[in-house]
Amino acid sequence: MIRVNLLPHREEKRKARRQQFYAVSGLITILAGMIWFLGYGIINGYINTQDNANSFLKAQIAALDKDIDEIKRLKEQTDSLLSRKRIIESLQANRAETVHLFNELARQVPEGVYFKNIRQAPNSINVTGYAQSNSRVSILMRNLDASPLLERPDLVEIKSATIANRRLNEFNLNVFITRQTTEDDMKGKAAGSATKDKKP
């Protein structure tokens, strides 16, 4: 006996394909959602890691900036202290130098010469005074030139003057200072000059 299927088989196939399409679409949507969620999580993890690294670097940079500022402050303080130290050393050297210069001038003044005024410049001394004769001024200049602390005496002016009814020669001369590094050097040069003078 021949059986004829009168059911709407095409409609059933269509319905089955539609259900299959919905199922595949749902799976694809779920899979896409999972991929997006995983990607979003991974990217967020990278971003958080980088943010943490940036925060750490900023903190370290801020600490280094503080250290640099402290180093600059300490350097400025060191420079200031060194400057003060140099000034104090210079003042001490100048004080000792002035004493030595006055002692040396007193030693080198020949008889018949009197100083009226002494002015010290950074590298020289200006001396004005009176002498009984021109030859006394020449002796003074030779003595100053032979001094271990003074050199190159230069006569600026010499003229006649009357002091207390006495005729004298008023002179003005400059003499340069031989710079010494220490007091021991001054003593050494002075001793050397004394030894030369003793030689026949």
- Residue 131: give its domain's CATH number: 3.30.70.60
pLDDT tens readout for residues 166-177 = 888 888 888 888
Which of 198, 130, 146, 145 has the alpha carbon at shortest distance from 175? 145
* Domain count along the chain: 1
- Residue 21 domain flag: no
- Residue 69 domain flag: no
Contacts 24+ apart (CB under 8 A), 101-105: 101/125, 101/149, 101/150, 101/177, 104/147, 104/148, 104/149, 104/150, 105/150
Longest pairwise C-alpha distance within the chain: 179
Per-residue confidence band for 67, with pLDDT thresholds at 50, 70 and 90? very high
- DSSP 3-state assignment of 122? coil
Cβ–Cβ < 8 Å for 164, 149: no
**Of all residues in the chain, what percent carry a pLDDT higher than 90?**
22
Per-residue confidence band for 8, with pLDDT thresholds at 50, 70 and 90? low
Average pLDDT, the chain: 80
pLDDT of residue 59: 92
pLDDT tens readout for residues 104-140 = 878 888 888 888 888 887 788 888 888 888 888 888 8
**pLDDT beyond 90 at 71:** yes
Domain range for residue 96? Answer: 90-179
| pTM > 0.85 | no
Q: Which residue has the higher pLDDT, 163 or 71?
A: 71
- Residue 168 domain flag: yes
- Residue 173 domain flag: yes
- Residue 191 domain flag: no
Q: Is 150 exposed, middle or buried (0-12, 13-18, 19+ CB in 10 A)?
A: buried
pLDDT of residue 123: 81
Which of 185, 129, 178, 119 has the alpha carbon at shortest distance from 158? 129
pLDDT of residue 182: 41
- Residue 194 domain flag: no
CA–CA dist 127, 113 (Å, integer):
12
